[in-house]
Structures are given as C-alpha cells and as structure tokens.
Homo-oligomer: A and B are copies of this chain.
Amino acid sequence: MENKQIKNESITRQEDDFAQWYTDVCKKAELMDYSSVKGFIIYRPYGYAIWEQIQSYLDKRFKETGHENVYMPMVIPESLFKKEKEHVEGFAPECLIADIGGEERIDDPLIIRPTSEVLFCDHYSKIIKSYRDLPKLYNQWCSVVRWEKTTRPFLRGAEFLWQEGHTMHESEEEARTEALKMLEVYDDLGRDILAIPFSKGRKTDKEKFSGALETYSIEALMPDGKALQCGTTHYFGNGFAKAFGITFQSREGKLENPYQTSWGVSTRLIGATIMVHGDDNGLVLPPYVAPIQVVVIPVAANKPGVIPAAREVANKFKEAGFRVKLDDSDKSPGWKFSEYEMKGVPLRVEVGPRDIEKGQVVIAKRNDGVKQFVPMTEMVEKGKELLKVIHSEMYEKACKYLANHVNDVKDMDELNIALNKGGYSKIMWCGDRACEDKIKELTNATARCIPFNQMEVSGVCPVCGKKAKKLVLFAKAY
C-alpha cells in the first residue's frame, strides 16, 4: 500500500531547527514536562515507561552476570567526599549541598550524590576482609544531582535517573575484564533493544572520569552530526581502595587493596533514542522499548459492531503478550493517527466496518508508514513478525547513517570540512595531550573514543606531524 507521510504541523521540522524539533517532541509526545525548579524535569508516564523497559532489560542482564542491587544514602558528607582528590576536583563545581537539617545548621554539610563511588568505598572498607568476600558486584538504581548551568531534557539535567555499578575485585585483570564486560552489556542494549549502533572504545586521559585509570564509553551519532556519550565504564585500579583503607587478606595471606570498577547509563538513553529514530511526525520508538507496541483504532466507530470488534482485536494482541492500547475515545481517527505517530507507536491497527466484513485489519508501520491488509486470523503472527522487521529496519537505517558519517581526516583543513559535514572524524593521533587540546581549541571537537580495533593506525598526527600512535574518533558532542 502507498506510503503516506503526513507532516505533523504541531512540531518544528528537523531540517528547520533540530534542537527545537527535539524539545517539541519531548513535550508533545508527553515524555516530560518542566518543573518549578530550573533544570529538574518531570518524567511523565510515557517517558518513564521507556525507562522502565530499559531498566527491565538491564536489571536482568546485571543479575545474570552475578550483580546484586543495593541502595546507598542519597547524601555524602563533605568530609568523606574529599578523600579522593581527583574525584572531588571533578565534581565539586557542580554539587548541590544541604546544610540545614531539622531547622539546625549541619556541621559537616551533605552533598546530594552526584555519583556514589565514595559511599560504596566507605561501605566496602567495612565489609571486605578476605579474598572470600570478593568479588563484590553491586549495582544501584537511583537518581543523581549535578548542578548544571545549561540543561536539556534527558540529555543534561540537574537530576537524572541512572544505574551505577560499583565492583571490587581480587586482581587487576578481573577488574579490567569487568569494565569491558559491562560495556558489552550496554552495547547489547543498543543493538537489541534501542536499535542504536554504538561506537565503543577507550577515552583519552583528557576525557576520562575523575579518579579513573581507564574510562570506556559507548557513543552514538545523532542526526545533527554530533556525538552523544551514552554510557561509560571505569577501571579505577586500587586508588580509591587505598584512599579509603579497603584491604583484604589475599589467598597468600598478605594484606592487599582490591581493584575497582564503576559503570553507568542514564535516562540520557531516552534522549538518544528520540534523536536517532525520530522524524517530522514525532517519535519513532524501537519496538522492544516502546511502552505501547500496538495501538488499535476503530474507524467509523459509530457503525454497529466496530467498537466490539476493535476491542476483540486489542484483546487478541494483549493475550499474545504485546503491549497494547485500544483508543476507543470519541476523537476522530485522523486525530488519533497523528497522536500515535507523535508517540512513535510501532504498529497501528485500524478496524473499520469494511475490514470487519472481510475479516481483516489494516496494519501500518510507524517507521516507514507502509500499510497492509492482514486477515484477523493471521494478525497476531504478522504483528510479531513486523515488530522484528521494524527493529531490524530501524537498526539498519541507523547503521547506514553511522557508516556514512565517519570521515578520514589527514590534516586540519580536512578536519574542519568533516566537522562541518557532521559525524566522526577518524584522526591518526600522536598521543600528545597538547595536540588533543589544540584540536578542541580550533574546532570545538573532542576525542570521543579510541576504538578497540587499532589495525588501521598509520600516517602522522594532523596537528604536529609526528608519527601517529592511535586512531581516535573525534566529533562535536552534546
């Protein structure tokens, strides 16, 4: 059937103003709303439900890989926070601090957690005594606060929801393996659930997490050509362990400091999903994360039998395990079509009097607008198949976009041209911080990651002309 794309007039077009399109979609699809406190958003039911789907996938994966959930206090005493020097320097400028409790001044002011490394370390120092107590594989679902000046829904907020894994290990090798393993779990989430191809790699020293020895990240490329860091895992060595006095009796009977990792993803993933897949009609949600997978809409609902038939259709999908909404409100089918397009529901099922006569329904795919008639007896099977197809199509499309936006860059002119086009610039880097700084100064692009595959390294650094040591993906970033 014909592919009809009706432009939704209520939101800005992507090509006119991508940033405004993004904000419009966040609001119109009822994902979020602004609160009375600058930078703090309200996660509305439709937005929160996407987070619940992400949580459900990750929580299962974390538990399968031996992790346990815990909950630490939401506040950190300033004195404790200052124990690891690099860490505190990284976070101090964006801390929210409470110093009045029960109408009295608090002696040791409390920082609302921006991240919980120090709380986990403080606890670990009390409960880890022997190699038998290791590894400790803990995770926490919570919100954190970072007092940011400029905020954008889901992408950068004063408060956001996330998970933070914090683990302790007997050996350096085991800890390094953990940091890489959890990066793979995040990568799986992108490929299998969000239909987003992530670029993976190690951060440069300049870009790594305050206090970490290594930071790994997953990066996604947005349609405006900018990269978005979507998650990180960190290997800490035993620096925090030493600062917090965490020791264990090793298998050889010696007192040693354990090796540490942490890793996290946040509601920023919702922002990535909106941008990577959305279009001028609104959201396009990947089927496995969509709060509603199938919306059933009666057409000519006033005709006898239509509403009951639509209800039966909805029930059939529900019984088969789909997340279903039947919209039998008295609004027009046209209004409903555009509403659920805005909300990015993967499949729309139309049930009208002529369809009922013929024992069929119309199924429309949100991602490309393709419609088809399907016999009611086959609609559930067809629906299952189409969810898979839509996921693949969305993932393929995002992969193609990514592949078309990686540019080989040999000198500073090429870099500027590439950055104007948008996307990643593959740079052969000498490894000197000064050259990395220079690139940022001249172009505002940052090193997003050093991909694990370094087979292609060759040539010279575009800044200093020295022999290249590393292939790095640079991009302008969110």
Residues of A387-401 at the interface with B, using a CB-CB cut-off of 8 Å, are none
A14-56 CB contact bits vs B (8 Å, 1 = yes)?
A: 0000000000000000000101110011111100110110000
Q: Tell me which residues across on chain B come within 8 A of A49, comparing CB atoms.
A: 68-69
Least distance between A160 CB and chain B CB atoms (Å): 10
Contact assessment for A159 and B123 in the assembled complex, using a CB-CB cutoff below 8 Å: no
Least distance between A73 CB and chain B CB atoms (Å): 4
A98 at the interface (CB under 8 A from B): yes
The chain B residue sitting closest to A330, CB to CB, is: B132
Q: Tell me which residues across on chain B come within 8 A of A134, comparing CB atoms.
A: none
A4 to B120, CA, bound (A): 40
Q: Tell me which residues across on chain B come within 8 A of A143, comparing CB atoms.
A: 71, 74, 142
Q: Tell me which residues across on chain B come within 8 A of A102, comparing CB atoms.
A: 93-96, 147-149
Knowing A99-B99, A138-B45, say if A73 contacts B110 (CB, 8 Å): no
Knowing A33-B127, A126-B33, A147-B102, say if A71 contacts B161 (CB, 8 Å): yes
The chain B residue sitting closest to A119, CB to CB, is: B35
Contact assessment for A110 and B92 in the assembled complex, using a CB-CB cutoff below 8 Å: no
A142 to B43, CA, bound (A): 13
A464 at the interface (CB under 8 A from B): no
Contact assessment for A45 and B68 in the assembled complex, using a CB-CB cutoff below 8 Å: yes
A94-117 CB contact bits vs B (8 Å, 1 = yes)?
A: 111111111100000110100000
A70 at the interface (CB under 8 A from B): yes
Knowing A35-B119, A80-B36, A119-B35, say if A71 contacts B96 (CB, 8 Å): no
Q: Tell me which residues across on chain B come within 8 A of A69, comparing CB atoms.
A: 45, 48-49, 52
Residues on A facing B (Cβ under 8 Å): 33, 35-37, 40-45, 48-49, 51-52, 68-77, 80, 92-103, 109-110, 112, 119, 122-123, 126-127, 138, 142-143, 145, 147-149, 159, 161
